[in-house]
Amino acid sequence: MGRLEGKVALITGGASGIGLSTAKLMAKEGAKVVIGDFNEEGAKQAANEIIADGGEASGIFLDASVQESIKDAIDYTVNKYNSLTILYNNVGLTNLQKDLDVVNIDLDEWDRLMNVNLKSVVVGSRYAIPHMKDAGGGSIINTASMAAFASDSIRSAYGASKAAVVHLTKYIATQYGKDNIRCNGVAPGLILTPAAKNNLSEDLQAEFEKHNALPYHGEPDDIGHAVVFLASDESKFMTGQTLQIEGGHYLANPTTPFFNELAKKNK
């Protein structure tokens, strides 16, 4: 029996990257999966791939920046599969051109990123929770980012929105725990999704990898497996937590390479 047998999941932004990988892993574990994405064609294609692999899935249009659209996706899920027990709030946007330092950031972009990255988590959760109560419980999983924990010279809105997602995760966990609704998060480090590969030159990818404690990059399935765990009853005593999945990139004291060099010289 699959680890998610009998569960029904809605995944936002499931047509590519981490969301797509998670949708496939959830379906393999027996969940009925609805993939909601701005890219409707991609969502339908993903669902077809899952069905061809023996799973149960639907692909639908969802715009995470529009409240009604999120509500429609939740209604669709409940009408189609009679319940909703997993919500994976995965959609998130970044913009290297407009989301800059605090003096230069485009404030319209600030609002847009806050709306998509943060408010969509509130909206998805508020519409999902009554259905989870009806089902006797559920699991909400939010995608944060390591940008929630380490700051950067640009991407102020992205980092602030993801830090807020980490804290909101605790609020949801506190408010609905007695309804047997858990809420946890994942904070990925760099994960080589197709979009990330397009955005980062091979040189930059190699530079990132150099700073990982582990000798390789993260892949979408590395996050997907953690989300499956958080969605499953295996994590039934875990709530309000955000798992940092980043290959040890942020583990060492930043001065460690300097002291390693110094130690070499002094040998």
Which residues form the interface with ligand NAD (CB under 6 A)? 12-13, 15-19, 37-39, 42, 62-65, 90-93, 116, 143, 145, 188, 190-191, 193, 195-196
> By the 8 A CB rule, do 96 and 153 touch?
no
Question: Is 81 noted as a catalytic residue in this protein?
Answer: no
Closest distance to ligand NAD from the beta carbon of 85 (Å): 21
> For 148, which DSSP code?
G
Between 135 and 193, name the residue whose CB sits nearer to ligand NAD.
193
User: Which tokens belong to 35?
Assistant: 């993939």
Number of H helices, E strands in the chain: 10, 7
3-state SS, residue 24:
helix
From the list 226, 132, 213, the residue with the least C-alpha distance to 180 is 132
DSSP state of 187: E
Nearest to 195, CA basis, from 93, 83, 57: 93
Name the catalytic one among 81, 88, 158, 176: 158
Rg of the chain over all Cα atoms, to the nearest angstrom? 19
How far is the C-alpha of 209 from the C-alpha of 49, rounded, in Å? 31
Distance CA 214, CA 211 (A): 9
Using DSSP's 3-state secondary structure scheme, residue 236 falls into coil
Residue 174: count of CB within 10 angstroms of its CB:
12
DSSP 6: T
Catalytically active residues are 158
